[in-house]
Amino acid sequence: MSPELIPALRERVPLLSDLTDEQLNALAELGVEQHFDAGDVTVAAGSPADAMFILLEGEIEARADDKALYMARGGEITGKLPHSRMVTFARTVRAVTAVWQLTIPESSFTEMFHRVPSLEVKLIRVMADRIRNFAVDEVQQSKLAALGKLSAGLAHELNNPASAASRAAAEIRQNLKRLRELDASIAAAQLTPEQRLALVKSETAALNHAQSCTALDALTRSDREEAVGIRLQNLGVPDAWGLAPELVDAGLTTASLDEFAKCSNGVFRESLSRVGVLILLDRLSEEIQESMGRITSLVKSIKDYSYMDTTPERDVDLHKDLENTLRILENKIRKSGVQVERDYDKELPLICANGSELNQVWTNLIDNAIDAMAEDKSGREKLLKVQTGRKLDRVVVEIFDTGPGVPEQLRSQIFEPFFTTKKQGQGTGLGLDLVQKIVHRHHGDIRLESAPGRTCFQVLLPIKRS
């Protein structure tokens, strides 16, 4: 025992500052002084958790994926604390700077409490603080992970219509240039007023037909495109086969092509190309409108999902929130090959609740169901069913999936914090714990029924809050 140890225990460790010299000597006698240089391993991952460390000087940390998961500095007590159920150390811990510590083996805990009785309560408080801080960090990490998943899905969902609108805009720009060239050619032709009027009427009729026509069956469309393509080719129209589909959509046939030729007076090819360009421009503008509509709808879903600009508790439409959640997770649902079935009670009333919190419930339950089916190797159909109903003064929301189910021996643990059936690194075990807390905070109840091919989480919520 170094002569500096007892003064260091008193002066550098706040938890031990009120102990007597006799009690500090007892700790020193039960422990072993250790010194580490910066970079040294103080604890190896997987080693037995059989000692408590009183840090007197320096700093230690555990890292994973180049991120610090845990840090402790001089003056703190760490390692295996009394009454902890830790069996092994999960991470390798290294000294960040030179470290001086007193290591007390677990085998000496009973004697330590006998000689220093007041220390037991103090260490229990330290362990409680550590558990609370760990839980807060894990909840935060869980929320960030969920946010990351949602962000990736939303980015994909927004990117598709945005890319479609961008492509359509680029094509419009190219075709406007082509349209100006065709207009110049037609304007230079010596058309009579009657021919110009006839040409405008033919174009208008073709555009109206293109906007209102119903889709032809594949065989009829193919035959008509071939006939129009051959006729255009015979008339010397460039890009005859590229133009044929647009003209068929415009309702033109071989007979109407001949009529169109009568009023074009030498600009037949330009007039037909102009009709094709006008139809294409109309289609492209529709595509942009649809794409922007999808983006607007998705942004609205996100706003509704998060309940921005609203009070925490309000009248909540569960069907609307469930649909918003499904929309937010649409990309993951599609990628996992999951089919969605809805069975909503149309008479379901609004409920008074915190909609943003309930959306976390639906997100966790649906996300877990998708993950369960994605990992299922049985070959069963992947079906997610969302069902609502009413039981007396409560509404019921049920999330069914056709995954492998939760084994019977694990069902009693499924809502426990930090318990997860997912592979290491894929789940924190806090999703269902958070779900249960939110449901209970709403004076509701959550139940699980599970068998291979049919798992159901049932959430019951009061219609009116007291």
Count up the domains in the chain and report the number. 3
Cβ neighbour number for residue 84 with a 10 Å cutoff: 16
Hey, is 393 helix, strand or coil? coil
**285-310: average pLDDT:** 73
**384-412: average pLDDT:** 90
Is the residue at 161 inside a domain? Answer: yes
pLDDT for residue 160 is more than 90: no
**Residue environment code for 201-229, b if the CB has 16+ CB neighbours within 10 A, otherwise e:** ebbebbbeebeeeeeeeeeeeeebbeebb
Is the residue at 79 inside a domain? Answer: yes
Is the residue at 341 inside a domain? Answer: yes
Hey, is 72 helix, strand or coil? strand
CA distance 296 to 303: 11
Is the residue at 45 inside a domain? Answer: yes
pTM of the model: 0.48
Question: Taking a C-beta distance cutoff of 8 angstroms, is the pair 74, 12 a contact?
Answer: yes
Please tell me whether residues 319 and 291 are part of one structural domain: no
Q: Strand 339-343 vs strand 51-57: parallel, antiparallel, or unpaired?
A: unpaired
Question: Taking a C-beta distance cutoff of 8 angstroms, is the pair 307, 356 a contact?
Answer: yes
Q: Give the helix ranges, DSSP H, for 191-267.
A: 193-212, 218-234, 240-249, 254-262
DSSP 8-state secondary structure symbol assigned to residue 220: H
CATH number for position 327: 3.30.565.10
The alpha carbon torsion through 307, 310, 315, 319 (nearest 10 deg) reads -20
Is the residue at 129 inside a domain? Answer: no
Question: Taking a C-beta distance cutoff of 8 angstroms, is the pair 332, 370 a contact?
Answer: yes
- Sign of the dihedral defined by the CA atoms of residues 152, 156, 157, 162, in that order: positive
Structure tokens belonging to residue 139: 């909840």
Is the residue at 212 inside a domain? Answer: yes
Please tell me whether residues 268 and 346 are part of one structural domain: no
CA distance 52 to 46: 16
Is the residue at 142 inside a domain? Answer: no
Number of helices and strands in the chain (H, E): 13, 15
Which pLDDT value is given to residue 237? 75
Please tell me whether residues 271 and 336 are part of one structural domain: no
Please tell me whether residues 220 and 274 are part of one structural domain: yes
Query: Could you tell me which residue, 299 or 437, shows the higher pLDDT?
Result: 437
Which pLDDT value is given to residue 85? 79
Please tell me whether residues 57 and 164 are part of one structural domain: no
Domain range for 234: 153-297
Q: Which amino acid is at 155?
A: A
Which pLDDT value is given to residue 424? 43
Q: DSSP states of 287-337 as a string?
A: HHHHHHHHHHHHHHHHHHHHTTTS-SSEEE-HHHHHHHHHHHTHHHHHHTT
Cβ neighbour number for residue 153 with a 10 Å cutoff: 19
Please tell me whether residues 165 and 239 are part of one structural domain: yes
Please tell me whether residues 177 and 264 are part of one structural domain: yes
Please tell me whether residues 100 and 26 are part of one structural domain: yes
Question: Taking a C-beta distance cutoff of 8 angstroms, is the pair 302, 154 a contact?
Answer: yes
**Residue environment code for 382-406, b if the CB has 16+ CB neighbours within 10 A, otherwise e:** bbbbbbbbeeeebbbbbbbbbbbbb
pLDDT for residue 278 is more than 80: yes
- Closest-CA residue to 153 (of 324, 357, 287): 324
Which pLDDT value is given to residue 305? 61
Q: Which amino acid is at 299?
A: V
pLDDT for residue 139 is more than 60: no
Which pLDDT value is given to residue 151? 65
Is the residue at 257 inside a domain? Answer: yes
Please tell me whether residues 108 and 190 are part of one structural domain: no
Please tell me whether residues 19 and 87 are part of one structural domain: yes
pLDDT tens for 56-113 read 999 999 876 666 677 888 999 988 888 887 888 888 899 999 999 999 999 999 999 8
Which pLDDT value is given to residue 148? 61
Which pLDDT value is given to residue 340? 94
- Closest-CA residue to 24 (of 35, 10, 12, 11): 10
Question: Taking a C-beta distance cutoff of 8 angstroms, is the pair 250, 205 a contact?
Answer: no
Please tell me whether residues 319 and 455 are part of one structural domain: yes
CATH number for position 94: 2.60.120.10
Please tell me whether residues 411 and 337 are part of one structural domain: yes
Structure tokens belonging to residue 61: 């940390």
Hey, is 135 helix, strand or coil? helix
